[in-house]
Amino acid sequence: MARLVSVVVCTSLLVAIGSANAQGLVPGCTLPFATIAKHHPVDDNCDARGEADQDPQEHNRDAHALQNVAKNNFCATTEGNPALVTFISFRKLQQKLDQKAPKAKTWWRENLPKDRTVFRDIYTTSEDATIGEGSVVTFAAWLMKVKPGSPESCNCGNKNDKAPDTMDLHLVLIPSFPTVQCKTGAQTPLECKSVTVEISPHFRPDQWDEATICNAARLHPLRFTGQLMYDAAHRPCSGSPPKAGQGAPARVSSWEIHPVYAIDVCTKKSLSSCKADNGSVWVPLDH
């Protein structure tokens, strides 16, 4: 497996654009899903820094901007195929980060890390791919829930605008077939074993909507390819039995695939038959 390369040039470009740029979000590369991408008004409202400059915590603004830039990175690249990751990979990523950066346990939305280089090259998988933030990964799982997001700074943060095309789609992915699927409601213990994948509203294709995703996932696992990103605003589930923290999503790790670059549906009906690196069993969601 080729070693993964964190995108630096593109991220630097996005930071350099600056919050005053009136032209909105400029990816700095050809979108990974360019053939089906759709332009939305949110794409014109702010650049990759989002609304970080309006953070009420002055000390947090630059760190907030860096996290927004990471969430809006559509330009991560590899020297080969995307790195294969599993639920074990997400657990290991969290463990390795907490060992490398003990301060990670103190980060939250009003105290974000000011240097995100700490997230690079965190963990080497069994396929010998060294991954961290900025790595492109591919991941297969069962879909449990699709949770529409809320107005967020990275998506221009207009709290009065709750239109679906201005907010992320949060996907709750689990390793076993869900008894209840695509239903919102109270968090369940199973969610503490889940991994989060987020589909950005920026340039989101029409076919990547909640109804299409849920219909495709009823009998088939899904595969998501995209950038690995660390959400330093929240901590994963903890305790015995594990529970989500106050205001935090229930999940096994704060590492996410965010944003998504590709969504595929398996032609088989079991996760064991749907290995993420077996291209012969996957078809694009939009097909």
pLDDT tens, 85-137?
999 999 999 999 999 999 999 999 999 999 999 999 999 999 999 999 999 99
* Position 5 pLDDT exceeds 70: no
Q: Are 114 and 103 in contact (CB under 8 A)?
A: no
pLDDT at residue 239, rounded to an integer: 94
Nearest to 196 by CA among 217, 226, 219, 216: 226
What are the phi and psi torsion angles at 248 (to 5°)?
-105, 150
pTM: 0.91
* Position 11 pLDDT exceeds 60: no
* Position 1 pLDDT exceeds 50: no
Diameter over CA atoms, the chain: 51
pLDDT class of 161 with cuts at 50, 70, 90: low
Q: Are 104 and 232 in contact (CB under 8 A)?
A: yes
Pairwise CA distance, residues 192 & 1, whole Å: 30
Structure confidence by residue, pLDDT tens digits, 197-244 = 999 999 999 999 999 999 999 999 999 999 999 999 999 999 999 999
Mean pLDDT, residues 157-166: 70
pLDDT more than 90, % of the chain: 78
- Tell me the β-bridge partners of 146: 171
Tell me the DSSP string of 59-99.
GGHHHHHHHHHHHT----EESSSPEE--HHHHHHHHHHHHH
Output the average pLDDT for the chain: 90
Q: Are 196 and 249 in contact (CB under 8 A)?
A: yes
pLDDT at residue 159, rounded to an integer: 58
- Tell me the β-bridge partners of 263: 224
- Tell me the β-bridge partners of 130: 124
Pairwise CA distance, residues 80 & 59, whole Å: 39
Nearest to 258 by CA among 217, 216, 218, 201: 201
pLDDT at residue 152, rounded to an integer: 85
Q: Are 169 and 198 in contact (CB under 8 A)?
A: yes
Mean pLDDT, residues 21-29: 81
pLDDT at residue 162, rounded to an integer: 66
